[in-house]
Amino acid sequence: MRRKKPEGYKELLVYKRTDELRSFVFNITEKFPLSERRRKEHMRDSARSVKQNIVEGWKRETTKQYIEFLSFSFGSLGELKEDSEDCFKDKLISKEIHNELIKRCGEIDYLMGRLKLALQKKIGEKTKSQDSSKEFDELLKEFNLVKLPNGRVVEKGENG
């Protein structure tokens, strides 16, 4: 199944957030000492991988393949979160930078989860129980998002 817009993934809020995350990680790792070159490269690769797997999934032939590539994105995001924990413990990043990175990862985790759920519903795949509507509303508020009447979730002020 070919999607109507070859680069429609660029319209997804989750894609936009992963692009911002990649830039954020690039900037914070720029200050790492030379002795941390391997970790710096790994964090940059993980952040890039989160975004690139969304793109690759979009470009795949089937929705099931798209879901599979989102799973790779979740894995890379998990690695990045753990690297952030380690960097904070090793005093490579401040508490503020660490908290911001974890917050951004949390938002992306949430958005990818919603995308995965929507794709699973599209193909009739059974899904695990999701957050209650109250929890959903709280997460939307926390990440400055709104749900449009058509069900689409966007950032406040971005068509919402």
Percent of the chain at pLDDT > 90 equals 70
The pLDDT of residue 145 is: 82
Confirm whether pTM is higher than 0.85: no
Structure tokens at 109: 């985790």
Q: Give the residue, 125 or 86, on which the prediction is more confident.
A: 86
Give the DSSP letter of residue 8. G
Per-residue b/e over 36-69, b at no fewer than 16 CB within 10 Å? beebbeebbebbbbbbbbbbbbbeeeebeebbeb
The pLDDT of residue 129 is: 46
Sequence ranges of the domains in the chain = 8-128, 132-160
What φ, ψ does residue 60 adopt, rounded to 5°?
-70, 165
The pairing of strands 153-155 and 145-147 is antiparallel
Tell me the CATH architecture of domain 8-128: Up-down Bundle (1.20)
Per-residue model confidence as pLDDT tens digits over 72-83: 999 999 999 999
- d(C-alpha 75, C-alpha 30), whole Å: 23
